[in-house]
Structure 1
C-alpha cells in the first residue's frame, strides 16, 4: 500500500491530500478539486524547472570538476536515489504510518501546529533511523531515532512558520522537511552572530534593496544573466555555452517565482477554509500545512546564492580537511540547501551566502561520515549504483539532526536517554514560541 502511495509521486499525492483537506474543511468540492489540482500544477512546473536546471548545469559542473582536478572517491548520487535507499530499508518500510501517527498524536495533544503532508520526504527520517540501527544493532533504537528527527522537524516548522509565511508569501504553511528543518538552529545562531558584526549588523541587502539602490542591476533577469555568465566562465565555456547558461539561469530566476504563485493560488482557498474551520470548531486554533522546501525556492536570494554556491562547493570539497565526497548529483539543486537561510536572514544576500558556505562545510563532512552506512543500505537494497568496493553518499543526507541523533544514540542506552530528553525539552520550550516575522 505504502509503495503504491510513494509511486504516485509528490505531484499527484500532494494534490490528492490537498483536496481531502479542503473537503474536511468544508470547502465546496469543485473549489477543493481546483485548489488541489492548481497546487499540483505548481509542483509540476517546479519539477520541470528543476529538471531544466539539472540538465543545463550538470555538464558545466562536470567540466569544473575536471578543471579543479578533483579526485575524491565518495560519490554524491543525489536526493532521488537517496530517497529510494531510505525507503528500501526495514525502517523505511514502516516510516510512513509511524511518522503519520506521531504527527497526528502531536497535533491532538497540541505539541505541534503542523500537519506534515509532505509524506514523500519522510525518507530523511528513515535514513536517520537506519544509520542509528546500523550503529547500535537495534531496530527499536533506529525507529526511536527516526521519531526524534521527525519530532524536531515539526517543532522547527512551528517555530519558523510565521517567518516562512512572511518571506515566501504563503499563508498557513510551514516547512518540516527533514533536511531544511535541521538547518534552522545553525542559521538562527549565525544570524545572532551577524548582529554583532559591524558591516552586516542591522542591514538587509536583498534583491529588492539592490534594485532600489541600483535600478535594473537588482532585477532577477539581470541577476540570472550575470550568474549564468560567471558559471559559464568558471566552466571554460565559449560564447555559445555562456549565452545558453545566461538565458537558462535567467529563466530559472523568473520561472521559480511564477510556479510559486500557482501554488499560492491553490493554497489560498484551503488556507481560508482551514482558518474558518478552526475558528468555528476549535476556538480559533491555528494549524499549519507542512510542505516541502521546494515552495521556498521562488525567492531571488535563494536561487542566486544557491547557484553561486555550486563553484564554491567544488572548491570547498577540494580543500576541506576530512572531506571525501565528490559533489555531483545534488549540486544543480544547491538552492535547496540554503532555502531556510534565506528565511532566517529575511532574504539578506550577504548573510545567506556566508551561512550557505558554513552549512555546506557541515553537509560535506556529515555526508562523508555517513558514506559507509549509506553504501551498506544501498547494497542491501540491491541498488545498482552501489558498486562493490566503492562508497557512495548524498549531500542531502548530510543534515545535522540525523548526525547528532545517530552520534548520541551510538553511545547506547545513555545516549538514547539523552536524545529523548533533549527532544522532549525542545518540544516543551518551543511549545508557545515563534520566531518573529
Structure 2
C-alpha cells in the first residue's frame, strides 16, 4: 500500500503540465496517432497548460489580495474561513484511503466506457482530487474503506454523466471539439446552476435581458472588448478594496491581460488536442460504427478562454462577499476560492450561450446554496485538514466553496451519516 501511495504521489508531484502530456502521449498512441505526431501534440498541450496556469496564477494573485482588502475595509466578520481548493486537495491526499483511489478510479472510468455508461475518458488526472476528496470525507466520517471507495466511484460516475450531458454545449460554445468537463466543482455547480439558469431564461422580466461579450462589444465599441471588460471589472474590484489610483490601474491592467491572454493559451492547447480527438473518432467509428464516440475529459480551466466566463466569474467576486455577509445561517467568509469562480460557472455560461446577465444571476443563486453547504461542511472539512495543512491564524473552523460548497460532496456527506447509522 505504501509503495502504491509513493508512486501515485510521485506522479502527482510532477504537476498537471507534466502529467497531462504523458497521459496524452499514451492515449494518442492507443488511438493510432503516429509517434512523432503524438509527441508533438502532447508537448504542445503541456506548453499550453503551462500558459494557462501562468494566466490563472495572475488572476489568483490579484483577486486574493483584493478580496482580503474588501473584507478588511468593510469589516466582514464570519467565523469559518474559506481556505480554497489547494488546501482541500492537500487534505484529501493526506488521508490513508487516497493512495488506492487513483488506480481504482482509472479502471472504473474504462469499465464505464466499455459498458457505454459514459463517453468521457477523464484524462485530467490532476483533478481526480475531487473524487479523492469525496472518498476521504467518507473515510473521516465512517472509517470504512468500502464506503469510501464507493463514495469516490459514485462521485466520478456523477461527474462523467454530467460531463456527457453538457458536452454538446461545451463543444459548441467554447469551440472545444471532442472535449467534455468532468471537473468535480464545475459539474456540481452546473448540476444546480443549469436548471436555475433555464428557469431564469423563461421568467418574465428576466428572459429578455441579454448581454454576451459580442453584444457588449457591438454596443460599446472598444469599451466592450474583452480586454477593456477585464480592465473595467478589475479596476472596480480594486476600488471596492480601497486601493489607491496606482493599485486600481495595476489591477485593471492585470485583469485585462487575463481576458486577452487566456483565449490564446487555450487555443494553443487545442492545437495539440484536435489531432488526437480526430484520430480517436476515426478509430472508434471504424470499430463500432458511426454512433460510437468518445470525449476527452479535460480541466474546466479551458472554459476561461471565453470572455463571458471570465467576466461572469469576476462579477461574482464582490457579489459572493455581499451574499456571505447578508445570508442568514452562513458563517463562511469566502476567500481562497474566489479566483476560481469562473470554473464553477463554466457549464452555466455555456448552457446560456454566453449570456452574462443570466449566468451571473444563476451563479449568485448557486453560490448562496454553496455557502450554506460549506457552513454545514465545516466540521468535517476542518477535521480533514488538521495535521495536513496549517489552518489560518485565529480560525476555529475552515471550509471551502470548491469542496464544502459542492452539492455532490454534500450529498455524499449525508449518505456517510446514514451509513454510520445503519452499520
Query: Would the TM-score normalized by the shorter structure come out above 0.5?
Result: yes
Where 2:354 maps in the other structure, the secondary structure is coil
- Any idea what the Cα deviations from partners look like across 1:397-437, whole Å, max 9, x if unmatched? 02101111221342238999xxxxxxxxxxxxxxxxxxxxx
**2:4 maps to which residue?**
none
Out of 122, 135, 145, the residue aligned to residue 139 of structure 1 is 145
How much does 1:279 deviate?
1.6
How much does 1:371 deviate?
1.5
2:200 matched to 1:194? Answer: yes
**1:304 maps to which residue?**
311
Q: Does the 8 Å contact 1:317/1:323 carry over to 2? A: yes
Q: Distance in 2 between matches of 1:221 and 1:384?
A: 37
2:266 matched to 1:260? Answer: yes
2:391 matched to 1:385? Answer: yes
Q: Does the 8 Å contact 1:409/1:415 carry over to 2? A: no
Where 1:75 maps in the other structure, the secondary structure is strand
Q: Distance in 2 between matches of 1:386 and 1:247?
A: 30
**1:375 maps to which residue?**
382
Q: Distance in 2 between matches of 1:27 and 1:412?
A: 46
**1:347 maps to which residue?**
354
Where 1:392 maps in the other structure, the secondary structure is strand
**1:29 maps to which residue?**
35
Residues 21-170 of structure 1 correspond to what in structure 2 (within 5 A)? 21-170=27-176
How much does 1:184 deviate?
2.2
Q: Does the 8 Å contact 1:10/1:120 carry over to 2? A: yes
Where 2:415 maps in the other structure, the secondary structure is helix
2:314 matched to 1:283? Answer: no
Moved more, 190-199 or 142-151: 190-199
- Any idea what the Cα deviations from partners look like across 1:26-62, whole Å, max 9, x if unmatched? 1121111111111111110111111112222222221
Q: RMSD value over aligned CA atoms?
A: 1.9
Where 2:191 maps in the other structure, the secondary structure is helix
**1:422 maps to which residue?**
none
- Any idea what the Cα deviations from partners look like across 1:380-410, whole Å, max 9, x if unmatched? x533337797212222102101111221342
Distance 1:7 1:202, change over 3 A: same
Where 2:32 maps in the other structure, the secondary structure is coil
Out of 319, 324, 335, the residue aligned to residue 317 of structure 1 is 324
Q: Distance in 2 between matches of 1:189 and 1:182?
A: 12
Q: Does the 8 Å contact 1:367/1:394 carry over to 2? A: yes
Moved more, 171-180 or 336-345: 336-345
How much does 1:357 deviate?
0.6
2:179 matched to 1:211? Answer: no
Where 1:205 maps in the other structure, the secondary structure is coil
Residues 267-278 of structure 1 correspond to what in structure 2 (within 5 A)? 267-278=273-284
Distance 1:119 1:415, change over 3 A: farther
How much does 1:166 deviate?
0.7
Q: Distance in 2 between matches of 1:238 and 1:314?
A: 21
User: Which TM-score applies when normalising by structure 2?
Assistant: 0.93
Gap regions ≥5 residues in structure 2: 1-6
How much does 1:336 deviate?
1.7
How much does 1:74 deviate?
1.5
**1:433 maps to which residue?**
none
Where 2:97 maps in the other structure, the secondary structure is helix
Q: Does the 8 Å contact 1:314/1:327 carry over to 2? A: yes
Q: Does the 8 Å contact 1:204/1:347 carry over to 2? A: no
Count of matched residue pairs: 415
- Any idea what the Cα deviations from partners look like across 1:205-233, whole Å, max 9, x if unmatched? 21112223333332101211211221122
User: Which TM-score applies when normalising by structure 1?
Assistant: 0.90
How much does 1:354 deviate?
0.3
2:313 matched to 1:292? Answer: no
Q: Does the 8 Å contact 1:370/1:393 carry over to 2? A: yes
Out of 257, 263, 270, the residue aligned to residue 251 of structure 1 is 257
Q: Distance in 2 between matches of 1:203 and 1:315?
A: 23
2:235 matched to 1:229? Answer: yes
Gap regions ≥5 residues in structure 1: 417-437
Q: Distance in 1 between matches of 2:392 and 2:236?
A: 34
- Any idea what the Cα deviations from partners look like across 1:225-270, whole Å, max 9, x if unmatched? 2112211221122211111111111101111111110111111111
Q: Does the 8 Å contact 2:190/2:345 carry over to 1? A: no
- Any idea what the Cα deviations from partners look like across 1:333-390, whole Å, max 9, x if unmatched? 32122112111211111111001111111221222221211211122x5333377972
How much does 1:17 deviate?
0.8
Q: Distance in 2 between matches of 1:387 and 1:104?
A: 44
Q: Distance in 2 between matches of 1:249 and 1:46?
A: 14
Moved more, 84-93 or 102-111: 84-93
**1:427 maps to which residue?**
none
